[in-house]
Amino acid sequence: METPRLQRLPSSAREKILKTLKLAQDMGAETATLPGSDVAETVVEYARNHNLSKVMLGRDKTRAFAPWRSGYADRIAQRAPELDITQIVRDEGAGARSSANGEPARLERIAWTGYLVSAGVCVLTTFAASALQPLFELANIVMMFLLAVVLIAVRLGRGPAVLAAFLNVAAFDFFFVPPRFSFTVNDFQYLLTFAVMLAVALITGQLAAGLKYQARVAMNRELRARALYEMSRELSAALLLDQIAEIAARFVEGSFRAKVALLLADEHDRLNFPVARSQVPVDAGIAQWAFDHAEAAGAGTGTLPGSPVLYVPLKAPMRTRGVLAVQPSGTRWLLIPEQRRQLDTFATLIAIAIERVHYVDIAQLTTVQIESERLRNSLLSALSHDLRTPLTALVGLAEYLTLVKPELSGEQREVATAIRDEARRMTALVNNLLDMGRLQSGEVKLNRQWQPLEEVVGAALAQAKPLLGGHEVQVQLDPALPFLEFDAVLLERVLFNILENAHKYTPPGSVIRLSAQLRETFIDVVIEDSGPGLPEGMEEEIFKKFTRGRKESATPGVGLGLAVCRAIVEAHRGSIRAEKSALGGARFVFSLPLGNPPALDENTVPGSLRDNR
Q: Kindly list the residues in this chain that would bind other proteins in the complex (CB under 8 A).
A: 384-385, 388-397, 399-400, 403-405, 420, 423-424, 427-428, 431, 435, 447, 449-452, 454-459, 461-463, 465-466, 473, 475, 477, 479, 483, 488-489, 492, 597-598, 600, 605-613
Beta-carbon neighbour count of residue 463 at 10 Å?
15
Nearer to other proteins, 9 or 446 (CB): 446
Nearer to other proteins, 143 or 393 (CB): 393
Pairing of strands 575-580, 586-593: antiparallel
Nearer to other proteins, 213 or 588 (CB): 588
Nearer to other proteins, 396 or 508 (CB): 396
229 by DSSP, 3-state: which? helix
Nearer to other proteins, 202 or 460 (CB): 460
Round to whole Å and give the CA distance between 236 and 298: 29
Nearer to other proteins, 24 or 489 (CB): 489
Nearer to other proteins, 74 or 421 (CB): 421
CB of 606 to other proteins, least distance (A): 5
Under a CB-based contact definition with an 8 Å cutoff, are residues 299 and 309 in contact? yes
CB of 562 to other proteins, least distance (A): 18
Under a CB-based contact definition with an 8 Å cutoff, are residues 591 and 575 in contact? yes
Under a CB-based contact definition with an 8 Å cutoff, are residues 136 and 151 in contact? no
Round to whole Å and give the CA distance between 9 and 33: 16
Under a CB-based contact definition with an 8 Å cutoff, are residues 427 and 575 in contact? no
Q: What is the 3-state secondary structure of 97-128? A: HHHHCCCCCHHHHHHHHHHHHHHHHHHHHHHH
Q: In what order do the strands lie in the sheet with 271-272?
A: 271-272, 258-265, 320-328, 310-315, 297-298
Nearer to other proteins, 137 or 602 (CB): 602
Nearer to other proteins, 8 or 388 (CB): 388
Q: What is the 3-state secondary structure of 137-196? A: CHHHHHHHHHHHHHHHHHHHCHHHHHHHHHHHHHHHHHHHCCCCCCCCCCCCHHHHHHHH
CB of 266 to other proteins, least distance (A): 40
Under a CB-based contact definition with an 8 Å cutoff, are residues 435 and 564 in contact? yes
Under a CB-based contact definition with an 8 Å cutoff, are residues 531 and 507 in contact? yes
Amino acid code (one letter) for 475: V
What number of CA atoms fall less than 13 Å from residue 555's CA on the CB side?
A: 13
Nearer to other proteins, 171 or 416 (CB): 416
β-pair partners for 485:
450
β-pair partners for 55:
85
End-to-end CA distance of the chain: 80
Element holding 293 (H helix, E strand): helix 284-293
CB of 402 to other proteins, least distance (A): 8
Nearer to other proteins, 99 or 417 (CB): 417
587 by DSSP, 3-state: which? strand
CB of 420 to other proteins, least distance (A): 7
Under a CB-based contact definition with an 8 Å cutoff, are residues 214 and 1 in contact? no
β-pair partners for 232:
none
CB of 609 to other proteins, least distance (A): 6
Round to whole Å and give the CA distance between 263 and 292: 13
CB of 450 to other proteins, least distance (A): 4
Which residues have a catalytic role annotated? Answer: 385
Under a CB-based contact definition with an 8 Å cutoff, are residues 113 and 155 in contact? no
CB of 56 to other proteins, least distance (A): 59
Amino acid code (one letter) for 543: F
Round to whole Å and give the CA distance between 304 and 324: 16
Round to whole Å and give the CA distance between 102 and 89: 23
Q: Which residues lie below 8 Å from residue 144, measured CB to CB, with a gap of 6+?
A: 125, 128, 129, 132
CB of 31 to other proteins, least distance (A): 56
CB of 441 to other proteins, least distance (A): 14
Residue 442 burial (10 A CB sphere; 0-12, 13-18, 19+): exposed
Nearer to other proteins, 25 or 417 (CB): 417
Round to whole Å and give the CA distance between 199 and 165: 9
87 by DSSP, 3-state: which? strand
CB of 470 to other proteins, least distance (A): 15
Round to whole Å and give the CA distance between 146 and 172: 11
DSSP state of 534: P
CB of 290 to other proteins, least distance (A): 50
